[in-house]
Chains A and B, each alone.
Chain A
Amino acid sequence: MSANAAPILSVDHVGVRFGGLVAIADLHFDVREGEILSLIGPNGAGKTTAFNVVTGFLKPTQGEVRLRGTSLSGLSPNRINRLGLARTFQRTSVFPNDTVTDNVLIGLHREDRGASLLEAIFNLPRERAGEAARREKARALIDWVGLSARANERAGALSYGEQRLVGVALALATEPSMLLLDEPVSGMNASETQNFVRLIRSVRDRGVTILLVEHDMPMVMEVSDRIVALNHGKLIADGTPDEIRADPAVIEAYLGKSAAAREAEREAAHA
């Protein structure tokens, strides 16, 4: 990943306040085209809030977010999705009462916008052709995330890890240029997590930039090109996995001050 690649997303001095609580303060970072960038930080650091600002679910109290230089201020989440940003959610990632196929089809609902409501009601040829194309796309996406055996099951009946995959397929159905994943592997076992890492990489290889929030540190260190660390709504570090691993502010945020101090002493002793 070349350091001077153009930023696809710029989070420009964003602040969010909930009443008196400062959830994010002056957050400032870029995501470069084609990279896998992780946003880490302890619980309550403001990661999900940052996602909500970027995807238009929250209006920032200050600053703005730009996608390829275009300000996203004031745009609704569905408009932002159309501009090429897709996300998954920390809690629910599926439409539980629909089948896996129907879930992905909801993500494909904007395909072939030419066919109108009346064509749908009269089931005209263009609507039928569009529907066949959408079903084929859905099938391919479901295959691709490895859920073809579950295609006709109710999404809500799937295991937690499988639901995460449905969420990713659903988000990818909107053909985003950037995908935001909020704690996608929490609740997954080790082999599911390994599969998910492969999936993230192959999504990136299709040209989709990834912004990842995750608590699983080994996974983050393995998959990320770059990491941004948050604590109490403030950016405390920005660098490669190796730099972040060695960063005293990050260690302190995760392990507390005494641990950080001990770490520093040990480093000094070895030097």
Chain B
Amino acid sequence: MTRYLPPAILVVLALLPLVLKDPYLLNALITGGIFTIGAISLNLLLGYTGQLSLGHIAFFGIGAYASALTTLGFDIGIFGDFRIVHEGWHPFAGFIVAILLSGACGYVVGRLSFRVRGAYFVIVTICFAEVVRLVALNWVELTQGPLALTAIPQMKIGFPGLGEITLRTKAQNYYLMLAVAALAYVVVARLVSSRFGRAMRGLKENEQLAISVGVNATRTLTVAAAISAAIAGAAGSIYAHYFRIIDPDVFLFTYTVTMVIMVVSGGKGALAGPVIGGLIFGTLPVALRPYMAPEAQWIVYGAVLIAILFLMPRGIAPYLDDWFASRRRAPARAPVAQPQLEGQP
């Protein structure tokens, strides 16, 4: 039932800039939306394969840096006199590079950790995020380290017939975020309803049984990790070209926690889950700001989270689905099974 919710939310959100002109609120929606894309990607792993990526922000940050550096260009020494010089490319090329590089990182991390299951993936992803953060902090020649990469060009998109548009205004960036979010949602929806998605769910529900019917666990999980990371990388790219400045703090653990909160509160393993969770926890800090001091804001934030998980332990979307289902009359049960052995399957 709740899977009809996101298209409705999309329509409302698409009309919102027509009435909402406040740049502060629009900025908050863009930021919340970008992290919601991250949450949608995290849900593919956490919700559908049951694998918790606690370093998910690494893929987001890699996307942000990859997109920024592809666009800005760089000149780095490798050893001796050998240097790699890259002239800046079009920002849209940066967006594509971000997706590919983040996806490749997701693939490698999956490859390394899915041979052994359980907590191993969680640990590897946390370590990976920390290592990437340290690289961003210390490889000053490439990343400017703590000084941050600045003056990242704004995203440019070519439209057939319209020519190329540079996304300068908040409203334009808002629509870019919305378009990428919708795309990410559709990719995940298609994937989980395909046979790849069924294999993922099978592994989550009963791994031994899934393997026994031929599901290649390592490959399935690795592919899921790669796609999830690629989507997170796309979100990172939008982030970089919207804020136009990124520093190693983009890899902070708190951002991963934010995405996990969005997924878990909205309902992991439900398509609408990260969208609902993203709407609530993406806008809550901004909504509270005019009314209370920062400490109080975080207390309310925590209280809302606890209340949701206390009342709806599986998250909001599954709760709503159950509620809709219980309102429909339960179907009458058919008589006991009798094999129909005459027909040939």
Contacts and interface: CB of A to CB of B under 8 A. Distances in A.
Interface of A: 55, 57, 76-78, 81-82, 86-87, 89, 92-98, 102, 105-111, 117, 120-123, 127, 130-131, 134, 137, 140-141, 143-150, 159, 161-162, 165, 170-174, 192, 195, 198-199, 202, 206
B199 interface: yes
B335 interface: yes
A146 B340 contact: yes
B208 to A, nearest CB: 7
Interface of A is mostly: helix
A250 B334 CA distance: 43
B92 to A, nearest CB: 20
B191 interface: yes
B213 A170 contact: yes
A182 to B, nearest CB: 11
A214 B215 CA distance: 27
Interface residues of B, number: 34
Interface of B: 187, 190-191, 194-196, 198-199, 201-202, 205-206, 208-217, 223, 334-341, 343-345
A147 B334 CA distance: 10
A107 B212 CA distance: 9
A198 B345 contact: no
Nearest to A109: B195
Contact of A57 (B208, B340, B345): B208
B337 A86 contact: no
Contacts of A106: 198-199, 201-202, 210, 213, 215
Contacts of A57: 208, 212
Contact of A127 (B194, B202, B343): B194
A159 B187 CA distance: 36
Contacts of B334: 149-150
Determine which residue in A57, A145, A199 has the highest number of CB atoms from chain B within 10 A of its CB, and name it.
Answer: A145
B339 A102 contact: no
A144 B223 contact: no
A202 to B, nearest CB: 4
Nearest to A149: B334
Given A144-B340, A145-B339, A78 B211 contact: yes
Contact of B337 (A92, A93, A146, A172): A146
